[in-house]
Structure 1
Amino acid sequence: MIQVLKPGFLTSIQDKGRFGYRHSGVPISGAMDEVSSDMANALLGNSKDAAVMEITLSGPELLFESDTAIAISGAMMSPTINDNELFNDEVYRIKAGSILKFGKLVRGIRCYLAVSGGFNTKKVLGSRSWYFSVTGVEVLSTGKRLPIAENRSLNKNPDLTAAMVHNYNSSVIEVEQGPEFDLLSEAQKAQLFNGIFNIAKENNRMAYQLKQQIYKHTYSILTSSTLPGTVQLTPSGKLIILMKDAQTTGGYPRVLQLTEASIALLSQKSTSDEVDFTLK
């Protein structure tokens, strides 16, 4: 078990997400940055489906009540175990009674803590991902105890051949054409791919908005299905990028679609960071 001494900011348990329930309006949820969560799990030899802890902007303080091993990937948040410095993308054996803390945010905004065997929190609709309307819990709270696999042997030779890492300095967000891309004028397309955009203060697990707008439009569509990574265009010209906790349908034209790798990269960016779209 792991006991939460301090919850940090917007800390949650996430896995690959909740599939097969979108027809009922249930979001996919899951780790915002699958590149980093996959890396943390791979380092420990876990399944890619193993649940991890998603830590946003500031980290929790955790007491390990049993022996385990951990790996941290994604944002650099100056982690320590018993006040000894830890590094991202390394495996550490942890003894019962140890305390994990996080400090200064150095790079990115979301990091992922994996434990050997994964977090064994309750599954709801086939997933351990927290989403309040489905699971009744959204973020960590002080005193909460999280079950983990115990006495699990560690894979000493993890397969990292498929593991990816971010170029955190890149602002390039790779996209595909969305279903309503052809509604755009040539001038609007030029704005999308030649302009520079910055992330607005409205950014979270549901959606990222961009500060700059493109030309207004009067296009209308029937309410249609959306996915994480769908880029919607409002009549005023505002661009909204749906993320992992987004709604399952929408009535704005779906002009672009982010790749999974681009969703992951975008999830490590915050207010005022630059975004440049490029067609895949």
Structure 2
Amino acid sequence: MSINVKQTGLYATIQDEGRTEGMPQGIPISGAMDFNLYRFANHVLGNKENSACIEFYQQGLKLEFDSPTFICIAVLDGEILLNDEQIESNSIIKIKSGDQILIKQLIEGNWGYIAVKDGFQSGAFLGSQSFYKALTQHQLKKSDKIIYVSYEGVSGADCPILNLEYYKTSVLDVFKGPEFQKLSQTLQYQLNNAEFSLSTSQNRMAYEIQERLDNELEEITTGPVLPGTVQYTPEGKMIALMRDAQVTGGYPRILQFSEKAINLLSQKRAKSKFKFNLIEINLEKI
């Protein structure tokens, strides 16, 4: 049983929670851009943790199912069609043979997830089905077929409700990065008090912050970075690394987003405004 990809849209891939085993070899973690929404889609269907979903960006994805099953399409808000009729997202959807799903547009947010009962079946690499260029073949192309297990009957499960309040805040929690203390007191104050916005440069590797701050720091010896690390370039740009980020970098690492903040940032569109909330860690209590 399989899905036939009729239209790919932008950045449509297979994603789970990513891989950590390849980091010593320089392989990015990857995984779903918004873990909260990805996990919700699987939770609605009662899937196991880390079940693979289809992740899509904003609009254009069209899929045809050749066998019955149940799916959940998790989005913040969107226009989604089943056989040309608009349907409700964030709920259990019964699929029949020949049904077609079209993601017409996302009204809010950037990323959405299509989960199928028991997850999509595709080859894993280092314990993950997540797409990453040159490692896997799970970036969707027109006429691709994605395997799933067929289910018939009626689902009697109660459907949880997505907490949209989770996404309403413009305050994002961050921790001090390894080079934070090298910043001047003025820059530290600006980071903790000024309002920032996102540029149009957004992809699975990084989101760039629009505003620039004068940088007098030297580049560092190459060091480890993670999704959520904020790098500070010689030109004063701040770059928030996302799920497909490299595992090392030579720019000062001035901040580190919390896991929730990565989820929130991933769904913010260009020109969205936000502030950093610097969380102090009391090492004496660790």
Query: TM-score, normalized by length of structure 2?
Result: 0.91
For the residue of structure 1 that corresponds to 2:110, the secondary structure is: strand
Aligned equivalents of 2:260, 2:246: Cα separation in 1? 20
Partner of 1:46: 47
> Cα distance 1:49–1:166, how it changes in 2: closer, same or farther (>3 A)?
farther
Mapped to 2, the partners of 1:155 and 1:261 lie a distance apart of 31
Q: Does residue 149 of structure 2 align to residue 149 of structure 1?
A: yes
Aligned to 2:97: 96
Residues of 2 paired with 1:20 and 1:249: CA distance? 15
User: C-alpha separation between the residues in 2 aligned to 1:154 and 1:29?
Assistant: 35
Q: Tell whether the 8 Å contact from 1:115 to 1:148 is kept in structure 2 after alignment.
A: yes
Q: What secondary structure, in the 3-state scheme, does the structure 2 residue paired with 1:192 have? A: helix
Q: Which residue of 2 aligns with 1:21?
A: 22
Report the Cα offset of residue 150 of structure 1.
Answer: 2.2
Structure 1 SS opposite 2:60: coil
Q: CA deviation at 1:104?
A: 3.0
**Considering only aligned residues, what root-mean-square deviation do their CA atoms show, in Å?**
2.0
Corresponding position of 1:127: 128
Matches within 5 A, 1:69-108: 69-108=70-109
1:190 alignment counterpart: 189
**Could you tell me whether the CA contact under 8 Å between 2:204 and 2:244 is conserved in 1?**
yes
CA contact 2:91–2:159 (8 Å) conserved in 1: no
Contiguous gaps of at least 5 residues in structure 1: none
Which residue in the other structure is 2:8 paired with?
Answer: 7
Q: Say which SS state the counterpart of residue 240 (structure 2) adopts.
A: strand
CA shift in 2, pair 1:222/1:127, >3 Å: same
SS of corresponding position for 1:264: helix
Task: Assess, with a 3 A threshold, how the Cα gap between structure 1 residues 56 and 24 changes in structure 2: closer, same or farther.
Answer: same
Aligned residue runs from structure 1 range 241-256, under 5 A: 241-256=240-255
Q: Check conservation: 2:182, 2:217, Cα contact below 8 A.
A: no
Distance of aligned partners of 1:181 and 1:159 in 2 relative to their CA distance in 1, 3 Å threshold: farther
Match of 1:55 in 2: 56
Q: What CA distance in whole angstroms lies between the structure 2 residues aligned with 1:160 and 1:256?
A: 34
Q: What displacement does 1:154 show?
A: 7.9
Cα distance in 2 between the residues matched to 1:226 and 1:152? 45
SS at match of 1:3: strand
Which ranges of structure 2 fall in alignment gaps of 5 or more residues? 280-286
SS in 2 for 1:102: strand
The structure-2 alpha-carbon separation of the partners of 1:20 and 1:198, relative to structure 1 and needing over 3 Å to count, comes to same
Q: Cα deviations across residues 143-189 of structure 1 (Å, max 9, x unaligned)?
A: 1100012238887446959x765543422111111122211221001
Q: Distance in 1 between matches of 2:158 and 2:251?
A: 44
Contact 2:70 2:151 in 1 (8 A): no
The CA distance in 1 between the partners of 2:266 and 2:28, in whole Å, is 17
Aligned twin of 2:282: none
Classify the secondary structure of the residue corresponding to 2:211: coil
**Other structure's SS at 1:216 match:** coil
Task: Output the CA distance in 1 between the equivalents of 2:158 and 2:185.
Answer: 48
Contact 1:231 1:239 in 2 (8 A): yes
Q: Is the 8 A contact 1:3 1:144 kept in 2?
A: yes
- Matched residue pairs, number? 278
1:223 is matched with 222
Could you say which residue in structure 2 is the equivalent of 1:213? Answer: 212
Which structure dedicates a bigger proportion of its chain to strand?
2
In 2, Cα distance between the equivalents of 1:25 and 1:164? 36
Aligned-pair distance for 1:141? 1.1
% same residue: 37
Stretches of 4+ moved more than 6 A in 1? Answer: 152-155
User: Which SS does the other structure have where 2:24 is aligned?
Assistant: helix
Pairing 1:108-119 to 2, within 5 Å after superposition: 108-119=109-120
